[in-house]
Structure 1
C-alpha cells in the first residue's frame, strides 16, 4: 500500500471525507517524501495540483493529518513549524539534514543509516546506563543546489581579472 493510499484509508477509517483538497495536500507531501515542509510550502505544492485550494484549507488539512498520525509536526527553530509524512513502517526517531543556506530540511530514512543510529543509541544505553526516550540528531551543511550555487559563485569570482 502506498503512503497516499494509507492516508486515504486512515481518513475513511476515522469517518472523514476524502476531499479533493485533502488529496492534494497528501499528494503534495508524498511528492516531497523526505522533505520537512512548512505550511506555506505545502500550500504552494498543493496549489500546483489544485489551484483553487486556500491556505486556511491547507492548514486545517495539515492539523487533521497530524491528529490522525499521517503527518508529524516538527520544530527545529522558533520561526516555523515543519511537517513530514509518517510512513507506517518508519521509525519516529531518525536524523535530519538542514541546509545552512536555504533552510531545506530532509528526513533521513536510509535503512543503513537508521541501523547505525539505532546501534549508537543502544551503545549509549549500555555504556552509560542511560535510557534514551527520544533523539534529535541534526546534520548541518549545504544541499546539492546551494553547494552548486556556491561553487558557481566562487568560480565566477575566480575568473575575474584585477
Structure 2
C-alpha cells in the first residue's frame, strides 16, 4: 500500500563507507516483499540505486529525483531508514525517524545518534581489525562484517516495535 515507506539510502561519499550493492539488494528485496520500500540517493548514485532495486518489482527508486527538502520530508514520513554512516542518518536522528545504521570505519561514538537511542539501531563490529580510514578506497572490514541477516533482523525488529513507546519509558 501507500503507507509510510521504509527508506533505504545505500550510497556514501567514500568507498570505505559503502556497504556492498549486492547486500543492499538482498535487504531491499526481502523488505519489499512486505513493506513499501523507497531507495534514495544522489544523481551520481543512480546506477548504484538501479542495481539495488533491480528485479525487486515493488521497490521505488527515487535516486537523484529529490530535492534536499523532498528528501527530508520523505525521511520524516518514513517508518524506518536504513543507511550507512552518511548525512541522511543525521536527518533521521534530527527528525525522530527510526533507523538502522551501518557503521565502519568511523565508530558510532564519533558520528552516531546521541539522542533517542531506542529509535536507532547501530550495527558496528569494533572487534574487527581495521584502519579506521573513512576515506580509504576499499570497503572497511568492519562494514563488511555486517551481514544482510543482521540488517534484516534489526529492520524487522524496528518495524514491529517502532510504533510502540520504549518499555518503561
User: More helix per residue: 1 or 2?
Assistant: 1
Higher relative contact order (CA 8 A, sep 6+): 2
Structure with higher Rg: it is: 1
Q: Judge same fold: TM > 0.5, yes or no.
A: no
Q: TM-score, normalised by structure 1?
A: 0.29
User: How does the TM-score come out when normalised to structure 2?
Assistant: 0.28
